């Protein structure tokens, strides 16, 4: 009898499968280390060296980079106009690259605010060279401040945001101060609740852990303040990546500038309400992180930074590589089930039990820790169900994010795709009545193929009584079905 297909694959499938799981487990252990450092340092308060007197407050330029934001720009400008800061020490730049009605809305609002004696300038570029990074750099050419504060269009700072953050620049070594993001429309839909959980994990757990333990952390593109000298010293805003914020953050910290994260200052913003917008946003962030890893990882690893800082930077900048590992794992699931049909369930137990204990529980713990800052947002049951759905959605994004990582590592293009903002904050409003939409692409068809592939894999598992595999395979399937259905039909 000739060599069967199973004989052909049995030589390398278990080793490859185990190797992928081991790499995923290493990243999962890193999540545990973040949790440990969070609890170790979260009580450590960072205070300003001293507070500026009213007469000594530094000159501040506020930059508002915009592109087609007609539904949220009025809200943003009103919030910025209400900031508690001496008018003679404040300059506001509306950096509007829009091509639609946003231009006239901005011009009219700027005229109104000038009548209220605010120092505000409307700056419009026609070519969008460098996208957001280009707009920020262009604005700096006419900035009068020593510091520059940045808000994206969907953010709504409270009046005391600036005055609470500016005092940290009394230390001349501080180059950047970042606030935490809040969520205006957290409870709009299941999708927005899942996004809120994901972002809370980053802003509550990760950012606090990194900054308090002395590691590099990233400016998040908005709701933060930079010392203009720091920007210039680090090489300025560069548009060689689509995450100019992450790029500048690491360059500045490599130059020795101190950066401070303030988790207790929360600036709320709007979460994407449609799946394609969410996927587009996640694609840009994953692509940009991969570009920054390609650009800066070697300089970081060869720098004079301490070993633990280099290690954390490596895991931070390569974190999205997890999606590639997960995608390979999903593609191996069918041949692995065929392998188990020959070897029996005990080998499966040896593989799946560590996967459950290390990967699943570490992720649940990571996001659960962040919810300590969100007490009362959800009932324990709803929080638990949302956490499992979050894991499913993360799996369902694996094709989208793997393509982003590939784009960042191997493609030359630097196109910046904005996330549509709808200005909808309550369930009584419907984002589908607004004109902005994320661009459609071919990714849902790849996701449909994965749904079919997983159904086939589950069928093989059931036929061969591999019931231990079913919870994981069903988790994978639920994630892809959820992401695919919202991508195709755009329902809340």
Residues known to be catalytic: 97, 245
Distance (Å, whole) CA 448 – CA 470: 20
Cβ contact 91:119 at 8 Å: yes
């Amino acid at each position: 009898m000739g060599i069967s297909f199973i004989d052909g694959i049995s030589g390398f499938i278990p080793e490859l499968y185990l190797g992928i799981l081991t790499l995923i487990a290493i990243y999962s252990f890193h999540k545990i280390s973040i949790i440990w450092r969070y609890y170790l340092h979260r009580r450590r308060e960072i205070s300003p060296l001293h507070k500026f007197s009213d007469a000594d407050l530094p000159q501040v330029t506020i930059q508002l980079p915009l592109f087609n934001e007609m539904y949220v720009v009025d809200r943003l400008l009103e919030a910025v106009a209400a900031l508690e800061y001496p008018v003679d020490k404040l300059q506001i730049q509306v950096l509007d690259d829009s091509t639609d009605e946003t231009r006239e809305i901005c011009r009219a609002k700027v005229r109104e605010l000038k009548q209220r004696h605010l120092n505000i300038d409307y700056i419009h570029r026609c070519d969008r060279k460098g996208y957001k990074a280009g707009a920020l750099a262009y604005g700096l050419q006419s900035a009068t401040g020593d510091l520059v504060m940045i808000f994206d269009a969907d953010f709504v700072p409270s009046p005391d945001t600036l005055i609470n953050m500016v005092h940290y620049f009394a230390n001349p070594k501080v180059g950047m101060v970042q606030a935490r993001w809040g969520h205006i429309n957290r409870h709009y839909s299941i999708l927005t609740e899942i996004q809120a959980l994901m972002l809370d994990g980053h802003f509550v757990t990760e950012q606090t852990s990194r900054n308090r333990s002395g590691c590099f952390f990233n400016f998040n593109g908005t709701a933060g303040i930079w010392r203009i000298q720091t920007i210039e010293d680090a090489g300025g805003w560069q548009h060689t990546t689509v995450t100019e914020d992450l790029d500048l953050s690491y360059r500045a910290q490599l130059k020795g500038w101190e950066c401070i994260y303030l988790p207790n200052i929360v600036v709320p913003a709007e979460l994407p309400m449609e799946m394609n917008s969410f996927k587009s946003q996640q694609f840009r962030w994953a692509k940009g992180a991969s570009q920054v890893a390609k650009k800066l990882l070697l300089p970081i690893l060869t720098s004079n930074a301490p070993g633990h800082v280099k290690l954390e930077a490596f895991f931070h900048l390569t974190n999205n590589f997890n999606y590639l590992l997960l995608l390979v794992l999903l593609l191996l699931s069918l041949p692995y089930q065929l392998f188990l049909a020959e070897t029996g369930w005990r080998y499966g137990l040896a593989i799946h039990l560590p996967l459950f204990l290390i990967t699943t529980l570490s992720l649940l713990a990571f996001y659960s820790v962040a919810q300590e800052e969100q007490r009362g947002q959800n009932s324990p049951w709803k929080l638990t169900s949302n956490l499992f759905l979050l894991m499913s959605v993360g799996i369902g994004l694996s094709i989208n994010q793997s393509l982003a990582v590939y784009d960042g590592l191997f493609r030359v293009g630097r196109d910046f795709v904005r996330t549509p903002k709808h200005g909808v904050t309550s369930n009584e409003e419907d984002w589908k009545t607004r004109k902005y939409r994320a661009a459609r692409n071919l990714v849902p068809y790849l996701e449909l193929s994965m749904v079919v592939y997983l159904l086939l894999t589950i069928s093989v598992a059931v036929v061969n009584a591999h019931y231990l595999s079913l919870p994981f395979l069903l988790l994978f399937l639920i994630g892809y079905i959820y992401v695919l259905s919202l991508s195709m039909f755009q329902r809340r």
